[in-house]
């Protein structure tokens, strides 16, 4: 644990280096706290000795010194708490920001594999747990050092009592070490299960509407209940270690206290120590057998929690358990928007999605993809945005392999508008400011007009300052899509991908979306995955996808005349 703790502490200090000055000041005040903690019990013991010896005049002076030390102690504690707060909160902030950046680098496949609960727990609970080593941990350490100072005082008073206290402390420390090791193993299992529960709770909140409308409340809650029960069982396993060992340690401590009284009685009877000294030595009992052991136990527990949490956080930063996205180094300054799929193969969980897919799209062209569900249409978009990596073959943007391009060249030049685009729980204006921080109201209004949403927004009581609601719940499906289109216009990407953009919308809303798309034609490279073929008849080209391959392509009229499958799909839609 020692080397692991040192390595983790170094990393935390590097991440929070802006606030190290506050930690240094915290250490300075802690040293003062330790000195006071060692000196004060000596003064208190002196009070007892003077009281038993009836030396009343000196007691007043000693008591004044105790009051003065206590006042200094309280001021010092306030300064220590303030510096600790500055270091802890600043470090937590920086680590959370850094971890958030690293989570956004994790591959889409691992995000889907592990679920959101894993990342929520590590971004919130684990980082908070890490930071407690600088508050609780430092406090426990200072408590241990203070009690070591008391050991020295006991050694100076009587060597035999010192040996007894030292033996007791060693035995109890070994018991606490054994308890901490056993509890740590169970704590790791508990945290993993806690991540599962957090993920399900996240799905409960985000998917509550679907759960209700699917009448799946019982089924979902049954699963959540099982996971919560398992989490509680693992927590109980961990706590049972504490309960059992605390009971054993408590019994042993009581026996040691009894033996201490016998030892002090024998020493007093043999005139090795006076009754007053015996009383003073006995008062150290709480410090050595309870306070010291409690501080040791809590410090060990805090170190264990720190290392567990640090390892879980750093496993994301270091890509130990999670695969990170990898980009190239070539940067395209002025992207034109040409791209090509060349013999691309892709499988998802052993299911082949794309099979040697090959096609080209020219800059400024509007191309639509049609075909049955599962044919591989959406996968084309995911691979183009490099959310997944191809198994073989290659994808080119402006003649450069996507594997060689940097992230900016890809992500800053492609916008995907899904059937249910995610709108952030902010005002309309703030949603745009995420894309462009210095955007003006005039720019927003212009993009809203092009996306056929300006009339709706201008009629809202708070206009651009209207809060959207989580996921855009205050907007209809068509309004969310048009807002996503407006957002894309602000982003000014060269390539816009519409994934089932008009699926399941009423005819009037569909026409609005279609007008918005037509406003973009010729200015951008546009790709459309269409459920309704009537929405893509004006596309420059239409590609028919079957079983991961392009089996036919051409204009709407060309496909009607030469492709029976396309003609059948179109005619069936007309009948519907």
Classified as helix, coil or strand, 274 is coil
For residues 563 and 493, give the distance between their C-alpha atoms in angstroms, rounded to a whole number: 33
Amino acid 501: pLDDT: 58
Quickly count: other Cβ atoms within 10 Å of residue 2's Cβ: 7
What does the chain come to in residues?
A: 576
Amino acid 473: pLDDT: 61
Q: H-type helices in 104-135, by residue range? A: 108-114, 116-121, 127-131
Tokens representing 218 are: 């019982």
DSSP 36-79: HHHHHHHHHHHHHHHHHTT-HHHHHHHHHHHHHHHHHHHHHHHH
Across the strands, what pairs with 570?
A: none
Burial class of residue 543 in the structure, from the number of CB atoms within 10 Å of its CB (0-12 exposed, 13-18 middle, 19+ buried): buried
DSSP 190-240: HHHHHHHHHHHHHHHHHTHHHHHHTT-HHHHHHHHHHHHHHHHHHHHHHHH
Full pLDDT tens readout for the chain, 576 residues? 567 888 888 888 888 888 888 888 888 888 888 788 777 766 776 776 676 666 667 777 778 888 888 888 889 888 888 888 888 888 888 888 888 888 888 888 888 777 777 888 888 888 888 888 888 888 778 777 777 777 777 887 888 988 888 888 888 888 888 887 888 788 888 888 887 887 777 777 766 666 665 567 777 788 888 888 888 888 888 888 888 888 888 888 888 889 988 998 999 888 888 777 787 778 777 777 767 777 777 788 888 888 888 888 888 888 777 888 888 899 988 888 888 999 999 988 778 889 898 999 988 888 988 888 778 888 888 888 888 889 999 999 998 999 999 988 888 888 877 776 777 777 888 888 877 778 888 888 888 887 778 888 888 888 888 887 655 566 776 777 778 778 777 777 778 888 775 554 556 666 666 776 776 677 788 888 877 777 788 888 988 888 888 888 888 888 888 888 888 877 776 544
Amino acid 24: pLDDT: 87
- What's the number of CA atoms in the CB half-sphere (13 Å) around residue 338? 8
For residue 163, the surrounding DSSP H or E stretch is helix 159-206
Contact between 255 and 234 (Cβ < 8 Å): no
Amino acid 56: pLDDT: 67
Amino acid 215: pLDDT: 64
Beta strands in 68-182 (DSSP E): none
Q: Domain 2-317: give its CATH architecture.
A: Up-down Bundle (1.20)
**List of residues 6+ apart from 80 with CB closer than 8 A:** 26, 29, 30, 33
Structural domain spans, the chain: 2-317
% helix / strand / coil in the chain, to the nearest 5? 65, 10, 20
For residues 254 and 242, give the distance between their C-alpha atoms in angstroms, rounded to a whole number: 18
For residue 352, the surrounding DSSP H or E stretch is strand 351-361
pTM of the model: 0.66
Reading across the β-sheet that carries 549-554, which strands appear in turn? 414-417, 495-499, 525-529, 366-370, 541-546, 549-554
Tokens representing 548 are: 């991961």
């Amino acid at each position: 644990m020692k080397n692991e703790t040192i390595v983790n502490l170094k990393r935390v200090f590097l991440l929070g280096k802006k606030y190290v000055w506050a930690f240094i000041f915290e250490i300075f005040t802690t040293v003062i706290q330790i000195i006071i903690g060692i000196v004060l019990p000596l003064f208190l013991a002196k009070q007892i000795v003077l009281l038993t010896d009836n030396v009343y005049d000196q007691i007043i002076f000693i008591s004044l010194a105790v009051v003065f030390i206590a006042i200094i102690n309280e001021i010092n504690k306030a300064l220590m708490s303030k510096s600790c707060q500055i270091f802890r909160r600043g470090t937590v902030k920086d680590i959370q920001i850094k971890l958030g950046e690293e989570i956004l680098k994790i591959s889409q496949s691992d995000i889907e594999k592990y679920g959101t609960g894993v990342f929520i727990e590590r971004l919130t609970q684990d980082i908070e747990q890490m930071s407690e080593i600088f508050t609780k941990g430092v406090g426990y350490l200072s408590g241990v050092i203070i009690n070591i100072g008391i050991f020295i005082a006991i050694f100076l008073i009587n060597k035999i009592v010192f040996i007894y206290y030292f033996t007791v402390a060693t035995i109890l420390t070994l018991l606490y070490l054994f308890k901490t090791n056993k509890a740590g193993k169970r704590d790791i299992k508990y945290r993993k299960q806690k991540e599962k529960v957090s993920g399900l709770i996240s799905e409960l909140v985000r998917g509550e509407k679907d759960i209700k409308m699917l009448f799946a409340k019982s089924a979902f809650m049954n699963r959540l209940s099982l996971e919560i029960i398992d989490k509680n069982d693992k927590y109980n396993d961990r706590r049972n270690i504490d309960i059992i060992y605390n009971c054993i340690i408590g019994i042993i401590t009581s026996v040691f206290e009894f033996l201490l009284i016998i030892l002090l009685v024998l020493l007093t009877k043999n005139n090795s120590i006076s009754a007053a000294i015996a009383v003073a030595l006995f008062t150290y009992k709480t410090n050595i057998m309870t306070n010291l052991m409690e501080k040791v136990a809590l410090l060990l527990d805090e170190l264990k929690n720190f290392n567990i949490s640090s390892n879980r956080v750093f496993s994301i930063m270091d890509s130990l358990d999670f695969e990170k996205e990898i980009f190239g180094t070539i940067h395209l300054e002025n992207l034109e928007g040409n791209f090509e799929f060349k013999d691309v193969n892709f499988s998802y969980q052993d299911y082949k999605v794309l099979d040697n897919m090959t096609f080209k799209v020219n800059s400024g062209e509007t191309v639509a993809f049609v075909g049955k569900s599962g044919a591989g249409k959406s996968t084309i978009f995911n691979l183009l945005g490099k959310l997944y990596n191809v198994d073989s073959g290659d994808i080119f943007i402006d003649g450069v392999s996507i594997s060689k391009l940097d992230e900016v060249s890809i992500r800053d030049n492609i916008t995907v508008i899904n059937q249910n685009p995610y709108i952030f729980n902010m005002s309309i204006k703030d949603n745009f400011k995420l894309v462009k921080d210095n955007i003006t109201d005039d720019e927003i209004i212009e993009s809203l007009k092009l996306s056929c949403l300006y009339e709706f927004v201008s009629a809202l009581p708070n206009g651009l300052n209207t809060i959207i609601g989580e996921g855009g719940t205050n907007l209809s499906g068509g309004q969310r899509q048009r807002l996503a289109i407006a957002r894309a216009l602000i982003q000014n990407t060269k390539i816009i991908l519409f994934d089932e953009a008009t699926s399941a919308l009423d005819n009037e809303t569909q026409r609005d979306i279609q007008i918005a798309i037509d406003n973009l034609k010729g200015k951008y490279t546009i790709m459309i995955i269409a459920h309704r073929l009537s929405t893509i008849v004006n596309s420059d080209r239409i590609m028919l996808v079957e079983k991961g391959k392009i089996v036919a392509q051409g204009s709407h009229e060309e496909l009607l005349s030469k492709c029976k499958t396309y003609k059948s799909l179109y005619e069936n839609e007309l009948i519907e």
